[in-house]
Amino acid sequence: MNRGFTFMNRNELVYLAILAAFILVVLPLGLDIFRLNLFGKYLTYAFVAMGLVLCWGMGGILSLGQGVFFGLGGYCMAMFLKLEASTPEATKIQSTPGIPDFMDWNQLTALPWFWEPFHSLPFTLLAIIGVPVILAFIIGVAMFKRRVGGVYFAIITQAIAAILTILIIGRQGYTGGVNGITDLRTLLGWDIRTDEAKYILYFVNAFLLIGALLLAQFIRRCKLGGLLVAMRDQEDRVRFSGYDVANLKIFVFCLAAALSGIGGAMFTLQVGFMSPSFVGIVPSIEMVIFCAVGGRLSLFGAVYGSLLVNWAKTSFSEVFPELWLFAMGGLFIAVVLAFPAGLAGLYKTHLEPRITALLARRGSTSPPDTASMPAGTATKPAE
Amino acid sequence: MSNNTDFLLSIENLTVSFDGFKAVNEVSAYIDKNEIRVIIGPNGAGKTTVLDLICGKTKATSGSIKFKGRELTNMKEHEIVLAGVGRKFQNPSIYEDLTVFENLEISFPRGRTVVGAIAFRRDAEVIDRIKEIAEMIFLEDHLDLKAAYLSHGQKQWLEIGMLLIQDPELLMLDEPVAGMSVSERKKTAELLHRIIKDRSVLVIEHDMKFVEDIAHRVTVLHQGKVLSEGSMERVKNDPKVVEVYLGH
């Protein structure tokens, strides 16, 4: 009986090793750079899905607006890259050189004030986490302190996703509008569009993802993780045990937002643009589906869920573009009805017992005939 | 009654109305240190509402609740807990997905902020205290069991244990033996006798034998008002009480 905090048990270490081998070795060796870049894009969604595991799976707070935080992180990155691409020399044909092209098209003659700080990379890196966290904090304080939860909270997050999309599209001169911020070229002079850069960005993303997974695992394992589960099941009991439940919720919501922001920034870097189509209601719900398919209680499941659903989406929409949305809807219904614990649940109930049995058989040093004997008799010492 | 601070808990003219219906109407009660007070009364008398008001779950319309001289009516739930009031709900509310050990650990009075919960370490003090409490609530052999697998009575004990680990000065129990088997009832009475030392306890209970067994004083509520108060002997023979409650 182990009474200490175990950061990862033996099984989880194995899962981590398998995941690391898969995304760091198997995928880069097995795929061409075009496909690998696609998988890198899928993995950016895994950040969001892991945030949802903490926030929704464990804490019971369903957010249908994670695209907002993903988008904010992505836009912060895109703003920096766009400013770097908009040097006066590169934009000298514009009526106002030195500002991003879409601003010039919209008759803006000066850089808006909130764009100014994005000339600085340190500020941008801070903003990628800071902007989503600050927004999540404001939403969290406004909602959780007033005890808004459950379906109402989900609806409000969805409304926020809609509002942000409308805002981005409507303020075209400041945001790039429906096209988003495109034509991103270099990061501190380093061209991000080359194959080599794509490889490097893929690995940066993969290592960040593993780092995020370890952080999330730490939260899961410490007392806060237990509290989140407790809060999901018996909110009043937690409150009447002396905890300010709203603060716990705000924290986990902000943490999920921070993870989403990082994912968004890596998305921008790897895909080369950011647009409102990754912010709104539909992408936000898709992110919940990634998490649900993977298994909303499993961090590893979140990664595989994001990979699987996105890979299916790409392959399926290449062949039957018009059918994809139906397939996605069907998948979500299937997850809810047939396997609510997702891929992780299927693994736990079907695959793991067999693997354990297989390993036990392989691992035993006894002669083959004892292995086939019923349990109990096999352990008797032979005399 | 001139000086409220003599009492651990003084409730004065407490009223709460829901859409004009006064669930608790001008209730006053005073509870001494180390007193065991039982509240009895027919269904809908406002017993649970009184506990809800004390622990902050329901906000009072008017009146005051003072605990050790501090006004509770404008404090938040978790602040009331930190002040030393523990409350057990009628239906066992425990964390079914966590083990018995984890249930008790979450209730351990340390690391109750976000940062505190992240920095919390399961040290010897925590483990010893959890084992001590687990023994008290007859669950020492089930520490690693998921709470969902406990029997109804065991769940009730676990929730009592979760309160005990916080060592509250005032313990409020809402029907602690409801739904228990005879043997579980006996064990619970034994448990309560042990835990009421050095603290005040406010109990709601219907089981008259149980009430007689533990109560120092009894308050009878009826339609939101105090109908009678005093020793069990006195209350039992109060004709008003017999008429509305015990006579049934």
Structural domain boundaries in chain A? 10-361
Mention every residue, 6+ apart, whose C-beta is less than 8 A from residue B20.
none
**Nearest residue on chain B to A242, alpha-carbon basis:** B78
Residue listed under structure tokens 């994005």:
A118
* Pick from B82, B97, B122: CB nearest A242: B82
In whole angstroms, give the CA distance from residue A230 to residue A372. Answer: 43
pLDDT band at A382, cuts 50/70/90?
very low
Cα angle value B57/B59/B63 (rounded, 5°): 130
pLDDT band at A170, cuts 50/70/90?
very high
Strand B217-222 and strand B225-230: the pairing is antiparallel
Q: How far is the CA of B177 from the CAs of A111, A183, B12, B166, B193, in angstroms?
A: 71, 70, 29, 21, 13
Q: How far is B124 from chain A (nearest CA, A)?
A: 10
Q: What pLDDT was estimated at residue A362?
A: 76
Task: Write the DSSP symbol of residue A113.
Answer: G
Dihedral angle of Cα A193, A197, A202, A203, to the nearest 10 degrees: -170
Mention every residue, 6+ apart, whose C-beta is less than 8 A from residue A273.
A78, A180, A181, A182, A183, A184
Touching A: B residues 203-232, CB under 8 Å: none
Chain A partners within 8 Å of B143 (Cβ)? 1
Is the CB of residue B109 less than 8 Å away from at least one CB of chain A? yes
Q: How far is the CA of A46 from the CAs of A24, A312, B248, in angstroms?
A: 15, 15, 63
Mention every residue, 6+ apart, whose C-beta is less than 8 A from residue A76.
A118, A124, A127, A128, A131, A261, A264, A265
Q: How far is B20 from chain A (nearest CA, A)?
A: 24
Domains and CATH numbers, chain B: 4-246 (3.40.50.300)
* Pick from A4, A223, A244: CB nearest B106: A223
Q: H/E element holding B11?
A: strand B9-18
Read off the pLDDT of residues A118-134 as tens digits, 9 standing for 90 and up.
Answer: 999 999 999 999 999 99
Cα angle value B116/B117/B121 (rounded, 5°): 90
Q: Do A226 and B106 touch (CB under 8 A)?
A: yes
Is the CB of residue B91 less than 8 Å away from at least one CB of chain A? no
With CA atoms as reference, report the closest residue to B187 among B141, B142, B156, B147.
B156
With CA atoms as reference, report the closest residue to B184 among B210, B204, B166.
B210
Least-confidence region, from A123-137, A365-379, B134-148: A365-379
Q: How far is A153 from chain B (nearest CA, A)?
A: 21
Q: Do B86 and A240 touch (CB under 8 A)?
A: yes
Q: Do A244 and B96 touch (CB under 8 A)?
A: no
Question: Does the pLDDT value for residue A326 go beyond 80?
Answer: yes
Phi and psi at A22, nearest 5°, equal -65, -50
Q: Do B162 and A237 touch (CB under 8 A)?
A: yes
pLDDT band at B193, cuts 50/70/90?
confident
| Residues pairing with A190 in the sheet | A187
> A interface mutation test: which of B77, B110, B126 has the most A CBs within 10 A?
B77
In whole angstroms, give the CA distance from residue A257 to residue B203. Answer: 44
Question: Does the pLDDT value for residue B15 go beyond 50?
Answer: yes
Question: Does the pLDDT value for residue B90 go beyond 90?
Answer: no
Q: What pLDDT was estimated at residue B137?
A: 92
Q: How far is B152 from chain A (nearest CA, A)?
A: 16
Dihedral angle of Cα A160, A166, A167, A168, to the nearest 10 degrees: 110
Is the CB of residue A246 less than 8 Å away from at least one CB of chain B? no
- Burial pattern B72-81, b for ≥16 Cβ within 10 A else e, equals bbebebbebb
Q: How far is B44 from chain A (nearest CA, A)?
A: 22
In whole angstroms, give the CA distance from residue B109 to residue A340. Answer: 35
Is the CB of residue A224 less than 8 Å away from at least one CB of chain B? yes
Read off the pLDDT of residues A60-91 as tens digits, 9 standing for 90 and up.
Answer: 999 999 999 999 999 999 999 999 999 888 88
Q: How far is the CA of A279 from the CAs of A138, A256, A260, B230, in angstroms?
A: 18, 15, 11, 65
With CA atoms as reference, report the closest residue to B191 among B166, B154, B144.
B154
* Average pLDDT of the segment spanning A80-107: 90
Q: Do A224 and B89 touch (CB under 8 A)?
A: no
Beta carbon pairs, A and B, within 8 Å: 84
Q: What pLDDT was estimated at residue A381?
A: 36
* Average pLDDT of the segment spanning A33-43: 94
Asked whether A115 and A302 are in contact (CB, 8 A), the reply is no
Helix (H) and strand (E) counts in chain A: 18, 2
Touching B: A residues 114-153, CB under 8 Å: none
In whole angstroms, give the CA distance from residue B190 to residue B204. Answer: 17
Q: How far is the CA of A204 from the CAs of A28, A52, A267, in angstroms?
A: 13, 22, 12
* Average pLDDT of the segment spanning A173-191: 91
Dihedral angle of Cα B34, B40, B44, B50, to the nearest 10 degrees: -10
Q: Do A243 and B98 touch (CB under 8 A)?
A: no
Q: What pLDDT was estimated at residue A150?
A: 87
Read off the pLDDT of residues B218-233 as tens digits, 9 standing for 90 and up.
Answer: 999 998 899 889 988 8
What is the token pair recorded at B209?
């034998």
With CA atoms as reference, report the closest residue to A202 among A33, A48, A67.
A33
Question: Does the pLDDT value for residue A374 go beyond 80?
Answer: no
Q: Do A248 and B86 touch (CB under 8 A)?
A: no
Strand B9-18 and strand B62-67: the pairing is antiparallel
Q: What pLDDT was estimated at residue A363?
A: 65
| Residues pairing with B62 in the sheet | B15
Is the CB of residue B98 less than 8 Å away from at least one CB of chain A? yes
**Residue type for position A182:** T
Is the CB of residue B105 less than 8 Å away from at least one CB of chain A? yes
> Mean pLDDT across chain B, nearest whole number?
89
pLDDT band at A149, cuts 50/70/90?
confident
Is the CB of residue A244 less than 8 Å away from at least one CB of chain B? yes
Q: How far is A262 from chain B (nearest CA, A)?
A: 22
Read off the pLDDT of residues A239-251 as tens digits, 9 standing for 90 and up.
Answer: 999 999 999 999 9
* Average pLDDT of the segment spanning B191-207: 86
Task: Write the DSSP symbol of residue B204.
Answer: E
Q: How far is A236 from chain B (nearest CA, A)?
A: 8
Is the CB of residue A321 less than 8 Å away from at least one CB of chain B? no
Query: How large is the ipTM?
Result: 0.89
| Residues pairing with B229 in the sheet | B219
Q: Do A237 and B95 touch (CB under 8 A)?
A: yes
